[in-house]
Amino acid sequence: MKEKSILTGIRPTGNMHLGHYFGAVQTWKQLQDREEPFYLEIADVQALTDHFDQPDMVHKNVVELAIDILSCGIDPKKTNIFIQSMVPEIAELTVFYSNLVTIARLYRNPTVKTEMHQKKELFGDKGEGITYGFLGYPISQAADITAFTGVLVPVGEDQLPLLEQCREIVRKFNHIYGETLLEPEPILSDNKRIKGLDGNEKMGKSLGNAIFLSDDEDTIVKKIMGAVTDSNKIKKDDPANPDICMVYYYHKLVNSENLNVVCEECKKGKRGCVACKKELIANMLKFLKPIQDKRKYYLEHPEIIEQILKDGTEKAQAKAKNTMHDIKQSMQIDYFNRQDEAK
């Protein structure tokens, strides 16, 4: 059980965008080369906590997300990509852990609080309609992590309160039932949060400011043409400040060749915004091309995706079973397996 692994999860509620790519996937690509096994969970059960009424959306996005993940260069030989609902031990563990967490503590979890207020139509203006499942999803996430002895958990900053909650559960479990679980540690990626096309601090599907890995050329042209630039620049030859321009911000992500030229020309008023955007569009398309080629290949070969998910899920099931054995032993609910003691 004490084999340490790396575990992270992602909710299948939409396609991947550049925020995921630069904020998370790049870190995953580095982590898959480490010696610890890497489990990448497609968290469909968690997605259902606030999308329980959209089963087709969640189902479709499990497959789409698997395609996105693989197209970005996550290697299924190194990373076990699996589907949360297919590892029932996670649900079982969630039940055991729910004894160790108070309702008040869940209400205090900053991530839950923020999300609860963002989902007013679902949970009411003051969160009075919050469900048991949604309020408790940090417990289920603690089960995700510990089922795989995930001691290293790559996450964004917004997830830190969930990790802290998991650490508390681990300490409480060990205190009551004996040293069994390992406390996880976060791995924060360097790039953290990617801004949206509108200059918003966060790129997000629901914010309508994201470039998706699956966007076609026309969509990308439209989105970049509408990106926020330095609003003080009116005429083509006005000098401007690239540091407050989203076009320059994205140049920094996908243009490694003439970034200095873009910056200097902008400051000196030697570059028009339209031309600058067109250059970004070309670079963005070039950057996305290999990812989109792979996406196309996988879309045409759903049987490959299915096999990869089956293999990853099987490995995850084996690992979770193993952990569960130890946990049940510690909790003394391993009823018909206690030969050692009987003899």
Which one of the spans 26-34, 140-148, 222-230, 233-241 is the region binding ligand TRP (CB under 6 A)?
140-148
Q: How are beta strands 150-155 and 5-10 bridged, if at all?
A: parallel
Q: Which one of 16, 17, 38, 41 is in contact with ligand TRP (CB under 6 A)?
A: 41
Site membership for ligand SF4, residue 284 (CB under 6 A) = no
Nearer to ligand TRP, 8 or 32 (CB): 8
Nearer to ligand TRP, 32 or 46 (CB): 46
Site membership for ligand TRP, residue 71 (CB under 6 A) = no
Report the distance separating Cα 80 and Cα 313, nearest Å: 7
Q: Which residue has the tokens 């076609």?
A: 216
Report the distance separating Cα 29 and Cα 39, nearest Å: 12
Q: In whole angstroms, how close is the CB of 155 to ligand TRP at the nearest point?
A: 5
Nearer to ligand TRP, 13 or 283 (CB): 13
Nearer to ligand SF4, 187 or 221 (CB): 221
Q: Which one of 6, 16, 18, 43 is in contact with ligand TRP (CB under 6 A)?
A: 43
Q: In whole angstroms, how close is the CB of 153 to ligand SF4 at the nearest point?
A: 37
Residue 16 binding result from ligand SF4, ligand TRP, none, given CB thresholds of 5 to 8 Å by partner type: none
Which one of the spans 12-20, 151-159, 218-226, 240-248 is the region binding ligand SF4 (CB under 6 A)?
240-248
Q: Which one of 101, 266, 288, 324 is in contact with ligand SF4 (CB under 6 A)?
A: 266
Residue 9 binding result from ligand TRP, ligand SF4, none, given CB thresholds of 5 to 8 Å by partner type: ligand TRP
Sequence letter at residue 30: Q
Site membership for ligand TRP, residue 210 (CB under 6 A) = no
Q: Which residues bind ligand SF4 (CB under 6 A)?
A: 229-230, 233, 240, 242, 245, 247-248, 266, 271, 273, 276-277
